[in-house]
Copies of this chain bind each other. A is one copy, B any other.
Amino acid sequence: MAAERRDKEAFVTLVTNDSYSFGALVLGQSLRAVHTTRKLAIMITPLVSDNVREQLSKVYDDVHTVDVVDSGDTEKLALLSRPELGITFTKLHCWRLTNYTKAVFLDADTMVLRNVDDLFDKEELSAVPDIGWPDCFNSGVFVFRPSEDTYQALLQCATNTGSFDGGDQGLLNTFFSDWGTKDISRHLSFLYNMTSTIHYSYLPAFNRFGGDVKIVHFIGPIKPWHHQYDSRSGTVKPHPNQDSTLPPHHMDFLQAWWDVFMNRVKPLLEGQGQDLTGQLAQLQVYGVESPAHVSSEDHRRAWERGEIDFTGLDRFENIQKKLDAQIKS
């Protein structure tokens, strides 16, 4: 394929705080590990520290700062008493990356296991059915075409109709409402967005098809970087609040995440400022609520739909609070 086309196509992710940057670093390195030929782009908010931004720039070709709060449209939404849509808008900024002709959005809590450059053969909007309500797509992985017009139309849709779940998934499914019925080629295989933390997964199907999983999506409030890692044995130890009913293969995917982290991300970060090293050395946290102990109905619902809790339980400040030395050595 011509290099100029490759340069106009990118994988895109988003982080709104330092904590999710661990996910983005692993995601980016997982894409490098499978030898993607496309660009890697990341959107960050001003909440991401300069130090972390510098690390991200080692893995990502493009680092775009996007602003959550000061657009005129956000003000308009505030007038409409819909301030929560500001967060939703952050992901929509990916449509403004018009230096690319086509892109694949991946949530920062996904990891690529096999080369998925074939996704660029798909058209906007291609995505995987959501396992909660499969007439809708899961917005953790999708193929799209950057376009300022589409971005403006999405803003208009948000203002007029809003999101039925208060997040990007509800909004995008409202905007791309014919996804469920129009074109089978826009239904990506579950292998491109396999959620392993749902314990009602269809285990026999996993046993049959799971060897072909291409992208795993760590939905839920406990992220891979919240778990413990024993560097002597090279194995991940489950977070104490880990749901005990998770299927056995979930631990395999967590282990895969940590393998990329230890082998491909940690070496990049060593020798950096003490702040980041400290964070890295003490990744695992207490104080993140587990699925079994989630107290708020809203947060439970957000967790159920796999929504990234950018501003709540998962924000870096909460994680930072109760750091404990975790990469045992």
Chain A residues at the B interface, C-beta cutoff of 8 Å: 128-136, 164-166, 170, 180-184, 187, 189-191, 198, 200-209, 301, 304-305
Contacts and interface: CB of A to CB of B under 8 A. Distances in A.
Contacts of A304: 200-203
Given A182-B184, A184-B181, A133 B164 contact: no
A130 B202 contact: yes
Nearest to A307: B204
Given A128-B134, A134-B128, A164 B206 contact: no
B132 A134 contact: no
Given A164-B207, A183-B184, A304-B200, A134 B131 contact: yes
Oligomer copy total: 2
B132 A202 contact: yes
B131 A205 contact: no
Contacts of A301: 203-204
A209 B182 CA distance: 18
A136 B205 contact: yes
Given A164-B207, A187-B187, 18 more contacts: A131-B131, A131-B134, A133-B201, A133-B206, A134-B134, A135-B189, A136-B202, A164-B204, A164-B205, A165-B208, A170-B204, A180-B187, A181-B189, A182-B184, A184-B184, A200-B200, A201-B304, A203-B304
Contacts of A189: 135, 180-181
B208 A170 contact: yes
Given A181-B184, A205-B164, A129 B129 contact: yes
A202 to B, nearest CB: 3
